[in-house]
Amino acid sequence: MGEPRGNPSDSMLLIYSLNDYDETFVKIKKVLWILGLRLTRNDSDRVKFWFQVFYWFEFANLLGAVILEIIELIRTVTGGSFEDIIASLGMIPCMGYLISAILKSYKICYYESMYENLINELRNMWPQGKVTEDEHVIISKALKQLNFVTTEISGFYWCNYALIIGCMLPCYTAIIQIAFGQDVPKILAYLYWLPFDPLQPYVFEVLIIIQSWHTILSIMGIVSGDLLFFIFVSHITTQFDLMSLRIEKLIFVPTDQQLINIYPLAIHNKHKRNDQVASTEMQNEEIREDVHQKELLDIILRHRTLIRLCADVESLFSFSLLINFINSSVIICFLSFVIVVVEKWYEFMYKTAMVTILSQTWLICWFGQKLLDSSKRLSQALYNCGWYTSSQKIKKNIQIMLFRTGKAVGVTTYGFTIICLASYTTIIKTSWSYFTLIYNSYKMNQK
Q: What is the pLDDT of residues 58-95, one digit of tens each?
A: 999 999 999 998 898 888 878 666 666 666 666 777 78
Each residue's pLDDT tens digit, 2-15 = 444 434 344 445 89
- When the pLDDT of each residue in the chain is averaged and rounded to a whole number, the result is 83
Predicted confidence (pLDDT) at residue 42 exceeds the cutoff of 90: no
Higher pLDDT among residues 441 and 226, named by residue:
226
pLDDT of residue 153: 47
Are 169 and 163 within 8 A, CB to CB?
Answer: no
User: Which pLDDT band, with edges at 50, 70 and 90, does 389 fall under?
Assistant: confident
pLDDT of residue 274: 46
Q: In terms of residue numbers, what domain contains 45?
A: 15-251+296-446
Cβ neighbors of 163 (< 8 A, separation 6 or more) are 219, 349, 352, 353, 356
pLDDT of residue 140: 93
In a domain, 285, yes or no: no
Q: What is the mean pLDDT of residues 346-374?
A: 85
Q: CB 434: neighbour CB atoms within 10 A?
A: 17
pLDDT of residue 315: 93
Number of domains the chain is built from: 1
Are 299 and 243 within 8 A, CB to CB?
Answer: yes
Q: What is the mean pLDDT of residues 330-353?
A: 75
Predicted confidence (pLDDT) at residue 338 exceeds the cutoff of 70: yes
Q: What is the mean pLDDT of residues 42-59?
A: 91
Using a pLDDT cut of 90, give the percent of the chain over it.
37
In a domain, 259, yes or no: no
d(CA 417, CA 126): 30
In a domain, 149, yes or no: yes
pLDDT of residue 286: 67
d(CA 194, CA 75): 12
In a domain, 264, yes or no: no
Predicted confidence (pLDDT) at residue 125 exceeds the cutoff of 60: yes
Q: Using DSSP, how many helices (H) and how many strands (E) does the chain show?
A: 15, 2
Cβ neighbors of 211 (< 8 A, separation 6 or more) are 168, 171, 188, 189, 190, 192
Q: What is the mean pLDDT of residues 335-361?
A: 76
Predicted confidence (pLDDT) at residue 276 exceeds the cutoff of 50: no
Cβ neighbors of 125 (< 8 A, separation 6 or more) are 239, 302, 305
In a domain, 90, yes or no: yes
CA distances 109 to 197, 204, 337, Å, are 36, 33, 35
| Dihedral sign from CA coordinates of 242, 247, 248, 249 | positive
In a domain, 5, yes or no: no
Q: What is the mean pLDDT of residues 362-376?
A: 94
CA distances 127 to 5, 130, 140, 291, Å, are 16, 8, 12, 21
**88-97, 154-163, 171-180, 199-208: lowest mean pLDDT where?**
154-163
In a domain, 339, yes or no: yes
Q: What is the mean pLDDT of residues 106-111?
A: 92
Amino acid at 73: L
User: Which pLDDT band, with edges at 50, 70 and 90, does 152 fall under?
Assistant: low
CA distances 27 to 20, 122, 212, 431, Å, are 13, 18, 22, 32
Cβ neighbors of 24 (< 8 A, separation 6 or more) are 143, 146, 147, 150, 231, 234, 235
In a domain, 430, yes or no: yes
Q: Parallel, antiparallel, or unpaired for β 14-16 and 129-131?
A: antiparallel
Using a pLDDT cut of 70, give the percent of the chain over it.
83
The whole-model pTM stands at: 0.87
